[in-house]
Structure 1
Amino acid sequence: MAQLRAFESAAKKGHEMPEIVCYEKQDDWGGQWNFTWRNGTDKYGEPVHSSMYRNLWSNGPKEGLEFAEYTFDEHFGRPISSYPPREALWDYIDGRARKSDVKKYVKFAHAVRWVDFDETSKTFTVNVENLRTGETESGKFDHVIVGTGHFTFPNVPEFDGMETFPGQIIHAHEFRGAESLADKDVLLIGASYSAEDIGTQAYKMGARTVTFSYRSAPMGYEWPEGMEEQPLVEKFDGSTAYFINGLQRTFDAVILCTGYQHHYPFLPSNLALKSPNNVYPANLYRGVVWEGNNQLFYLGAQDQWFTFNMFDAQAWYVRDLILGERELPSREEQRTSIDAWLERFHALKDSDDQIDFQADYIRDLIEQTDYPMFDLDTVAEIFKRWGRTKKEDILNYRDVTYTSVMTGTKAAQHHTPWMLEIDDSLERYLSTPEGDEVRDIWEGREAAQPR
């Protein structure tokens, strides 16, 4: 969606457009934000792309991901809170793309099966299946842009005795809601964002206990009673999990929050990125240009602090390379640049360093294009403050508000504290509900008097 928007922006400024075809496996766009109740496979028998679940709210401030050329104020026409639910964020990205009329380029329900590159003609052959009809087609292209993301194919570890566990074992990718975890003892294996968010969702929806199992280090938050962290699971025996520190606990459900793999089944090995999830994959010049073939590009292939606006910065740069507005340096100069970024990447000490690193990376891209520059340093500080607010209150950090660097608008306070809000619909989010005694007590106000 970012790449299509970038090309449309150039067209409006008088640039001649190349022929563009976007193949999208899902029936609609939105990527991860395109929620489906399905998991495993979709109605066409394809692996389900989205990892979204009911009642998922943004786990980072919207002020950190806001588009520089399409603000939340412009879309909603009023201030909204800093942590919108998934339906509001989908509406935002859909609204920008609809406004720029780029849906005409997309062939929905089309799965790319295989991509070949011919060294003689210097062109790609892209083989595609129309999932609705079963028909296949192929096309010749000068450039290929991989915009699939890398949070779809789960990394699924195995522990001794897992086959004896009588309850539910799923990966976070398959998780669709925490309501079924009420009154249950839940084990989450992992210590990053998925574990943190699904664990707090489970607690919010009434889980009896929530236990996190970490491999290298605990998250270290001030968990309430009923939530705890333990080191890695050693084995299972029926419903009992044994941890490497000698403790054991009995559970009703296990959720593997163990990350995702870079997996591109439509690409041959010489074109497919292989990387751990980090902020600077090793073989991408400026984080987007495939070093082994400069006609192939990846968007959003790195781990992310910034998201939507980083994808924009990447898409604008890729656009200008394809349009001939920018020239790539020699392969040797590309390697020198990659090595310099990797040297800095390997020296990063903590999350604050990673945030500053990614801010500088985005700045470097924007300086090459006409994408609107924004105050990246202030956004970086918002992300750092976000980290501190989670340390201060992991259950209620979503009630904090921030100020947009794009418009100067202070976010609104959502009408209901996140821990009390169980309706994530856009209608509810944008509504103004009547006073609520429980909400008043939670927020420390005197309870409303009966009328």
Structure 2
Amino acid sequence: MTRICLIGAGPSGMSMLYNLAKMKEQGKHIPDVVCYEKQSDCGGLWNFDWRTGVDEHGEPIHGSMYHHLWSNNPKECLELPDYTFDRHFGKAIPSFLPREVILDYLSGRWKTVNATKFVRLNTIVKNVVYNSDKDNFTVWARDQVEDKDLPLEQFSHIVVATGHFSVPNTPYFKGVETFPGRVLHSHDFRDAREFKGKQLLVIGSSYSAEDILLQCVKFGAKSIVCSSRSGPMGFKWPAQIQERPLLEKIEGQTVFFKDGTSTEVDAIIYCTGYKHTFSFLPDNLRLQTENRFYPPNLYKGIVWIKTGNNKLMYIGMQNQFYSMTMFDVQSFWACRVILGEKTLPEKDTMEADITRWTQKLERVTSIAQAMDFQTKYVMDLCRDSGYQYNLDVKDILNDWDQKKRESIITYRDNVFKSKFTGTVSCKPPKPFMAAFEDSLDSFCKLNLH
């Protein structure tokens, strides 16, 4: 009997449930599906939790969301073709949106098919075992509200959609343990107002570093030094931000860099990325990878080919330029496989396909090439699954990247055109660096009247 265990009710997991529900509307027989979600609501990364460290149940905090976060790429890059922003909001809105607005949009799509009815909230998966003799999986989950283990359940398929921005990667620098100021990872960053008037060191050159630098300047940080291993990000930063080589050591409040320079800081923020961590999976089922555009041992970036008889799948585990639309076509492809509408090839064919994509990735040396690589991956899934929409937004991504290079301060003030409706977004009522209100209510008052 086909029975699906879906782990995680963020954008990836909810896309899986949405696609299953839409297939049922088309008259297809849909197997039983149970979605376990450790948080108290659906939405994954897009939920905000004021806590850091552990949650109310003593479990590690999942989300890395902070106050005043706005999307760092235009909504036209993540717009879902069968549920557009025009449909949800009823009119043109700006291209760059605050967190609550994006979550409201995603929730609107899920509500059209009542996808949340499959979700068991506040329930954490503790262990998954593949039973080779029965060709199925045993799942041990725990109800966090009742504080009790649930009866063991059997499933034919496991779909892991827990994301990979929850377990911080925190490298050690000599002297950090004696630094007298605040030291935190971006996972625990909650509000840039904490650092008003402060001198900061930000370590890293990822999207989180880029955004936290701007957030802290926006809300009044005195000065920021950004230190990274990979070199300058190449943006035209405001005067408060300087870039330096990698941090070498810390003595008191003084931080020293590999070029021999030093400065005093009040706080240190690590923006050094995350680890793919799946503590509920044994080694033979666990994806072990860095943040890559094509993770190893996943056919089509989805099916785990090592063990589990191709019945363990991962959704949304790639490094990302595409996000919501990639999750959606991955989920659609996975649903078709599970429903028996697509047959997987032999293992050697799948391994050869993984090798082909991996070799392509090895030739990627620039952001433009990385965007092209992921566009080709997404479009390959569209063709292979029969997904009815063209998700290619490479032209929008290239335009967005160019505007960032022109001005990191003003790129969120630009407008873009929807691929699916042709609607050109409206100009935001305030420039991003002057927009201090980010709630759904304030956004609607400014944009929907």
TM over 0.5: yes
1:85 aligns with 2:101: no
**Contact 1:68–1:372 (Cα < 8 Å) also in 2:** no
Instruction: Specify which of 74, 80, 95 is matched with residue 67 of structure 1.
Output: 80
Structure 1, 367-376 or 357-366: larger mean CA deviation: 367-376
Distance in 1, matches of 2:446 and 2:146, equals 45
What does the per-residue CA deviation read over 1:261-287, in whole Å, with 9 as the maximum and x for residues that have no partner?
A: 010000000100011101001110000
2:403 match: secondary structure: helix
Instruction: Specify which of 224, 238, 248 is matched with residue 234 of structure 1.
Output: 248
Which residue number corresponds to residue 367 of structure 1? 383
Displacement of 1:98 after TM fit?
1.3
Displacement of 1:213 after TM fit?
0.3
What does the per-residue CA deviation read over 1:348-382, in whole Å, with 9 as the maximum and x for residues that have no partner?
A: 12111111111111111111334332250xx1111
Q: Percent same amino acid among aligned pairs?
A: 42
Displacement of 1:220 after TM fit?
1.2
Displacement of 1:156 after TM fit?
0.8
1:113 aligns with 2:123: no
Distance in 1, matches of 2:272 and 2:261, equals 21
Which residue number corresponds to residue 47 of structure 1? 60
TM-score, normalised to structure 2, is 0.95
Distance in 1, matches of 2:249 and 2:272, equals 16
**Contact 2:379–2:391 (Cα < 8 Å) also in 1:** no
Distance in 1, matches of 2:134 and 2:367, equals 45
Which residue number corresponds to residue 344 of structure 2? 328
Tell me which amino acid in the other structure corresponds to 1:325: E
**Contact 1:64–1:306 (Cα < 8 Å) also in 2:** yes
Which residue number corresponds to residue 123 of structure 1? 136
Task: Kindly tell me the number of residue pairs found equivalent between the two proteins.
Answer: 431
2:226 match: secondary structure: strand
Pairwise mapping of residues 101-250 of structure 1 onto structure 2 (< 5 A)? 101-137=114-150, 138-250=152-264
**Contact 1:374–1:405 (Cα < 8 Å) also in 2:** no
Tell me which amino acid in the other structure corresponds to 1:81: P
1:393 aligns with 2:393: no
What does the per-residue CA deviation read over 1:405-432, in whole Å, with 9 as the maximum and x for residues that have no partner?
A: 0110101111111110101011111223
Structure 1, 325-334 or 36-45: larger mean CA deviation: 36-45
Q: Which runs of 5+ in 1 are unaligned?
A: 434-451
What does the per-residue CA deviation read over 1:238-295, in whole Å, with 9 as the maximum and x for residues that have no partner?
A: 1110001000010011100000001000000010001110100111000000011310
Instruction: Specify which of 307, 321, 330 is matched with residue 305 of structure 1.
Output: 321
Tell me which amino acid in the other structure corresponds to 1:327: T
Tell me which amino acid in the other structure corresponds to 2:16: Q
1:31 aligns with 2:47: no
Q: Which runs of 5+ in 2 are unaligned?
A: 1-13
Which residue number corresponds to residue 276 of structure 2? 262
TM-score, normalised to structure 1, is 0.94
What does the per-residue CA deviation read over 1:311-357, in whole Å, with 9 as the maximum and x for residues that have no partner?
A: 00000000000000000000000001111111111111211111111
Which residue number corresponds to residue 445 of structure 1? none
2:32 match: secondary structure: coil
Structure 1, 366-375 or 248-257: larger mean CA deviation: 366-375
Distance in 1, matches of 2:154 and 2:128, equals 10
Distance in 2, matches of 1:166 and 1:395, equals 32
Distance in 1, matches of 2:206 and 2:411, equals 16
**Contact 1:191–1:219 (Cα < 8 Å) also in 2:** yes
Which residue number corresponds to residue 286 of structure 1? 300
What does the per-residue CA deviation read over 1:129-167, in whole Å, with 9 as the maximum and x for residues that have no partner?
A: 000001212110000000001010000111000011111
**Contact 1:69–1:372 (Cα < 8 Å) also in 2:** no
Structure 1 residue ranges, 4+ long, deviating more than 4 angstroms after superposition? none
1:124 match: secondary structure: strand
